[in-house]
A and B are shown apart, each in its own frame.
Chain A
Amino acid sequence: MDKLNDEDRKTFAVLADYLIPEYGNKPKATAVGVHQELLDKVLAVRPDLSTDFIRGVRFAAGNDVSDALNTLNKDDRIAFDAITLVATGGYLMSETVREAMGYPGQEPAPYDPHETPEYMTNGMLERVTLRGPIYRPTPRDDD
C-alpha cells in the first residue's frame, strides 16, 4: 500500500472529528492535531496499523462519513479498528486533552509506607479477621 498522503490526512480529519467531536471542555479531534503531528506519532509507535488505516481511510474518501464508517465496521472491522485506535490513541496522548480530562498521565504518586491505612482503623479488616480462617488445612495424614 502507498504511503500516507495529504489527501488521506484530510479524509482522516473528517472521520476523526466525527468519531471525536467537541464536547464540553473537550476539544474536537482535529483541534489537537490528531490528523497531523499526533497521527505521525501514533504511526511511528504503531507502524503495523498503517496498511489497515490507509485502506480504511481511502475507502471513506468522498463518501458520507456515517455510511463509510458503518460500512467499514460491518465489512472491514480491521480497518475500522485501526482508524478508531489511531484517532483515540492520538487524541488521548494530547496534553490539552489530558488536562481537560483531569488525567496527569502515569506519574508517580508518593506515599508514606508506614502510615496506618484506614482499613486498619475503621474495623474493616478486623471484621475479616474475626470471621476466622477460611482455608482447608492439609489433611491430617500428611502432617
Chain B
Amino acid sequence: MASKGKLSEEFDVLIIGSGPSGSVAAKWMTEAGMSVVLLEQGDWVDPGDYPGDKPEFELAGGKQWHPAPNFRDHERDYPINTKESDVEPLMASAVGGSATIFGGHWVSFLPSDFRVKTLDGVADDWPFTYEDQLPHLLAVEHALGISGTAGNTAYPPQGSYPTPNIPIGKVGNKLASGLDKLGWHWWPGPNAMPSIPYNGLNPCARRGTCMFGCNEKAKWSPDLNFIPESIKGGLKLIPGARVREIEYNDDKQRVTGAIYIDRNGRERRQLAKTVIVCGNTIGTPRILLNSKSKTFPDGLANNSGLVGKRLMMHPFGLVMGHFDEDLESWRGPSGMLIETMEFYETDESRGFVRGAKWGGMSGGGPLSTKGFVGSEVFVDGGKIEDAWGVNWHQMMDRRFGRTGLYAIIGEDLPEESNAVTIDDDLVDSDGIPAPKVVYKTSENSTRLLDFHSARAEEAMLAAGAIETQVCPQMRESGWHLLGTCTMGLDREKSVVNEWGQAHDVPNLFIFDGSTFPTSGGANPTATIMAVAHRQTMHMINERRNVETA
C-alpha cells in the first residue's frame, strides 16, 4: 500500500508504543548509541491534569479517566469489541502507556512461573528461567527507584530495593496483623514509587490516587524520566502517531518500517532497519493482524496461526473488610500496602492448579465506599430504602475510612480460544480496523477465585473485620493483559523466539507482555520490563549480527 507522505529518514530501530516495555527499549538503545524512532498513538499527559488532587476525582474516574477505553471514548484510544468477553480490557493510550494510570504494584514473577509445565504439568515452560531474567529485573528496579523491603521469603534472596518502603499505614498494619495471627506469609508492599527523591521522581506523598494518575510525579511512568532522558539522548518521539500496519517486503523478506496516521489524519511512512512492537497484548496482535502481505495473508509473522491467540487476563477477586476503628483508609499509596504469597504455589488438593498473590490496599475515597476505583461492584437489591436515607449515612459511617481490601491476582492459564482478532466492522477514529476480544473465564480460574476469596475473608476476620464483602468477579478487571504473541523455541507453537524475535521475520521483534507463554499470578509489569530489558540488551550486544533490511 503506497504512502502519500514523503520518504522519512531510516532509523536503526522503530519502536511502536511508549509504555513500560517500549520505553525500556528506547532508553537503553539510545544510550547504546542506536538511532531510534518511537511512534505513540497517545499524547503527553500533564501530571497537573490528573484528577487525583481535585475533589471530583472519583467522578472523573468513572468516565474521562476510566481505565477502560470503551468507557472513556477518547479519540486517541481505539475501541475494542468486547461483547464476547467476560472481562473488559483496561489500558491507556498516552506517552508512557498504561503506566500513566497503573497502580505501581511492583511484583516480580516467582521461579515456578517460568516452569509451570515441569512443575505442574500445565501450559508451557518459558524459554528462560527466573534466574536468567533476574539481573534484568534488578537493572530495571534500580532505574525506577522501587521502594520496598529486602528479604521477602516468597522469593530467592535478591538484595535490597533502591529506596525504603513507604509506610504501610494503619490499614497495612491491620491487614498484616490478621495474616500474622494465622501464621500466613505477608510482606510490606514493593511499589514503583520511590520514598525519597529518585531519578527525576518525587517521593510518594501518599495521596492514594495512583490509579487516577499521580499529581506528585512520584509514581513511575515512562513519560517522567525514561522518555525525556531518551529524547535528550537522540530519541525521535512522534506522539499522536497511530500505526496502521508494518510494511513487509516480500522480495527482501524483511520488514521495512511502518505506515502511520499522524495527528492531522495524514498517512505517513516511517522507515527502519528493525521494528520492535510494544503496543501491549491487544494492540500488538492488532497491528500484526492488520499487516497483510503476499507472504503473510493472515497477518505478519503469523505462520504459526497463533498471533492473537492465548490471551490471558488475570482472574481478579476482591474482598473487603470493614473495621470498627478509624484507619484513615483513604490514604495511599494505592500502591500496595502489603502483599501475601501464602497460596501462590500449586496445591492440587484445592481443586485447581497454580495460585494467586493478594495485594492489601486501602479502601479509597468516599465514592469508592461501595466500589473499587470507579467501578461499583456491590449492587443493592431489594427496596431502595434499605440502602438509602439514614441507612446510607450509617453505611458510610461504618465503612468510609475503615476499610481494607485484598485485591486477588490469580494466574490465568493460556487457551487458544481466548483470542484477539480484527473486528469485521469496528474502526478507530482514523478508520483503522479495531480489535475484537473473545474471552471466557475458565473453570480453573473460577475455582481459584472461590478458594482465594474464602481465605482472604478468613484473613480479614482474623484481622478483626466486623463486616466483610466478597465481590463477584468484576467485569472491568482486565488490568493485566498477557499472551497473544507467545514466545517459545518451537516455531510451530510460538510467534517469537526467546529473544522476542519473530520466527518468521528476522528484523521484527516484540518486547511486550504479549510474548508471555504463561501469566504468573502476580502483577506483570515488573516482569514485562525485566523481559524487555533482557531482549533489549541482547539486541544491543548482537546488533552487528542482526540481519537488517
Q: Say which size band chain B's interface belongs to.
A: 35 or more
Task: Find out whether the CB atom of B206 lies under 8 angstroms from the CB atom of A134.
Answer: no
Interface membership of A61, Cβ < 8 A = no
A22 vs B207: C-alpha distance in the bound complex, in angstroms? 30
CB-CB nearest in chain A for B157: A133
Give the total of A residues in contact with B, Cβ under 8 Å: 56
Residues on the B chain within 8 Å of A128, using CB: 153, 180, 185-187
Q: Is the interface of B mostly helix, strand, loop or mixed?
A: loop
Are A138 and B176 also in contact (CB < 8 A) when A66-B385, A92-B366 are?
no
Residues on the B chain within 8 Å of A45, using CB: 56, 59-60, 63-64
Complex interface: stretch among B113-121, B232-240, B444-452: B113-121
Task: Find out whether the CB atom of B367 lies under 8 angstroms from the CB atom of A24.
Answer: no
Scan A91-117; emit 1 where CB is below 8 A from any B CB, else 0: 011000000011101111111011101
A80 vs B388: C-alpha distance in the bound complex, in angstroms? 12
Task: Find out whether the CB atom of A138 lies under 8 angstroms from the CB atom of B206.
Answer: no
A103 vs B64: C-alpha distance in the bound complex, in angstroms? 24
Interface membership of A85, Cβ < 8 A = yes
Complex interface: stretch among B20-28, B392-400, B472-480, B524-532: B392-400
B100 to chain A, nearest CB (A): 17
A45 to chain B, nearest CB (A): 5
A66 vs B385: C-alpha distance in the bound complex, in angstroms? 8
Scan B201-235; emit 1 where CB is below 8 A from any A CB, else 0: 00101111100000010000000000000000000
A41 vs B176: C-alpha distance in the bound complex, in angstroms? 40
A23 vs B391: C-alpha distance in the bound complex, in angstroms? 10
Interface membership of A31, Cβ < 8 A = no
B231 to chain A, nearest CB (A): 29
Are A139 and B59 also in contact (CB < 8 A) when A21-B389, A26-B393, A117-B165 are?
no
Interface membership of B300, Cβ < 8 A = no
Partner of B153 from A73, A124, A131 at Cβ < 8 Å: A131
Partner of A18 from B185, B188, B389 at Cβ < 8 Å: B389
Task: Find out whether the CB atom of B176 lies under 8 angstroms from the CB atom of A124.
Answer: yes
Task: Find out whether the CB atom of B365 lies under 8 angstroms from the CB atom of A135.
Answer: no
Task: Find out whether the CB atom of B205 lies under 8 angstroms from the CB atom of A108.
Answer: yes
Beyond A20-B392, A106-B57, A131-B185, 5 extra complex contacts between A and B, CB < 8 Å: A20-B388, A106-B209, A108-B207, A109-B332, A138-B112
Are A113 and B195 also in contact (CB < 8 A) when A26-B393, A118-B173 are?
yes
Interface centre among B56, B131, B196 (most CB of A within 10 A): B56
Are A73 and B384 also in contact (CB < 8 A) when A102-B326, A119-B188 are?
yes
Scan B192-204; emit 1 where CB is below 8 A from any A CB, else 0: 0001100000010
CB-CB nearest in chain B for A21: B389
Task: Find out whether the CB atom of A93 lies under 8 angstroms from the CB atom of B55.
Answer: yes
Task: Find out whether the CB atom of A46 lies under 8 angstroms from the CB atom of B203.
Answer: no
B192 to chain A, nearest CB (A): 16
Task: Find out whether the CB atom of A135 lies under 8 angstroms from the CB atom of B55.
Answer: no
B481 to chain A, nearest CB (A): 25
A131 to chain B, nearest CB (A): 7
